[in-house]
Structure 1
Amino acid sequence: MKVIEVLKPGQLTVGERPMPAAPVGGEVVVKIKAAGICGSDVHIFHGQNPFATYPRILGHEAVGEVYQAGAEVKDLKPGDRVAIDNVFSCGRCYACRSNRHNVCREVKVLGVHIDGVFQEYIKITADKLYKLPADLPWEMAATVEPYSIAAEAVDRAGVTKDDTVLVCGAGPIGLVILQASKRLGARVAVMDIVASRLERAKAMGADLTINTRETDLLEAVREFAGGEGVNIVMEATGNIGVLELAVAKLVSQAGKVIVLGFPVEPAKIVPADIMRRELDIKGSRLNNKKFPEVIRWLAGKEVDPTGLVTHVLPFTDAAKAMELFANNPEEVCKIILRFD
């Protein structure tokens, strides 16, 4: 079978691997049908992801069809359509015991720490598979994992209909957080520096878009939030300056800053800014068993991924897709690779 593998930073190949061995016990072999390219895949390709190891089969956003199932698998059979949860945890550490397995001390993620989903077939345990509606196209179903990131973020923030939310970054993650927040009834502003991405955010439900190349962000936020800061800032740019501004000036009294970007350089944050407004600053990483919830959103048309997917390419064009993603932010949002 064919796999998409980064041998070392900058060297990507479509290679050959043996088919997975027949599944036993609770194992399932899934035939991959569609998989999304994430910014983290591109960072791994370019050697810019601090968590990645090499060589590595990429990919963590995939859906497919059950090909074979082990004898102990009761709820899945060949032909079933499934989404693949990409998070693996130890089940023993404090985070796991606290029902936060997504930040397990030994967490492993498909396509980052262990070989991922950019392969024609993958063997995985049945507990990582969730059935998909029969009428959900493969390209749209492949957005389940990004929407699970949004489900985690709005859960961490406790978004309600009474909140004003600023989403920093109108890339794929910012856009799914926008829709997840609007689903809960919040008023949502989205900031970015790419006009076409802001146009997409507006089309996907943003109450306000802010191009910070043209508009003062602090002034726009104060006007949007009625003279005070927004209640919740979702920081998805990975820009240290944006995070610093969010804590210092953008968020309201008793507000929350949810950190999704992961730059490694230190930020200059004044503890008094946190204390005097009693701010909550929280990380949001991966997803904590959010797939069933997100699949219900998609089945009930509570979110709409059609504005998210801009390109669908055959998986053999993976190198072209990576460069397209990296070099064309005005044109590209979510690229889906098809495996049939």
Structure 2
Amino acid sequence: MLKRKLIILILGFMLPIIFTSAPIYVYASDNIRLIVDGNEVNIELVKSWIMEQGAEEDSSYYFDGLSFEVVNLDEDDDLEIIATIDGGVHLGQFFIFDKADGKYKLIAEKPQKIEKVNLPPSINLDGKKFFALIERTGGTGLDIYYEHIAYLEDRKLKIAWTGVQKERDANLGLYNLRIGNYQYNPENQLLYTWESRFEHDIETMDILENKGTVTKVYQFVDGKFVEVRGGSANSKTSEIDTKIEPPILKMKLMVNYGMEAELLIDEITEEKLNYRYFDFQHNYKPSNKQEEMAINEMFERVVEDGHLFPKYTFHFYVHTAEQDVEVKVPNGFIDKLKNDHEFRSKVISKINQPFDI
């Protein structure tokens, strides 16, 4: 059992607080000093850490929107410091500082607006301490709230699963709503998720159509929750009848810090190519040629002469070895994979390493 931490807030007088699992928030406008493990931490100190250790130039950070909280995110007794910058409705940045050798060091920086950190999501697997990050972003609609189930490992932030909490979109007199949630079952160590879609009248908010609910089941494999397809789980042994294989390749298109789409290649050989699209966290195969062309265009529109615009990045994940690399891609990437066998062979030969194709 973790020993409790004594934190003293100094706000004109000394106020002792016993820290357990509840985070303590400090905002840029607050005149508050925290004594954490005998060391003073305040908003100016956190600001200086970001300026010294952050990935961007000092002037690019909107420090008026800076806040931080003190919480224990991992298995050790030391407290971590989570800092967030609120840059607007959908804009923000997120930082995690971990204590090492008596000093706080930046171990994670993400260009995302994290509105809330939930502790814990009642998941206990492989000795890992999980927490949930609630992200708000824009996408192509009004806004989307994602929930990321995360953990720290080897002083790195790992994302085990991402799902939609709430997505809103309004057009042509209609208000489209997608809501989702999850439940972890410790009896068989499976994660159960669901997403429901509704179409509302934009004026009255009456439900015009219930578009149904999609349910999925995930098992924790190699540090991530991987979808269980076509199998069953034995609650006593937690063994999955179906062999779980992650996609060989994930191509993510990030646009203005929000995920536009994802291409998952499940199988690629000289004779065979199986792939899926993953649009705003929803798996599907294109229903017709026109839809597939529209998605291809989404990928291709950010490509110019085989190079990506600076603010767009493709992220590649190869098997369970996570690799984030910025790459050049040719125009017509998907069509080339399907129809150009020489090009496909080149991709196959590079599949287990960061590559520039």
Query: Please, what TM-score do these two structures have when normalized by structure 1?
Result: 0.28
Greater strand percent: which structure?
2
Greater helix percent: which structure?
1
Q: Considering Cα pairs closer than 8 Å and 6+ residues apart, tell me whether 1 or 2 has the greater RCO.
A: 1
Query: Please, what TM-score do these two structures have when normalized by structure 2?
Result: 0.27
Higher-Rg structure is 2
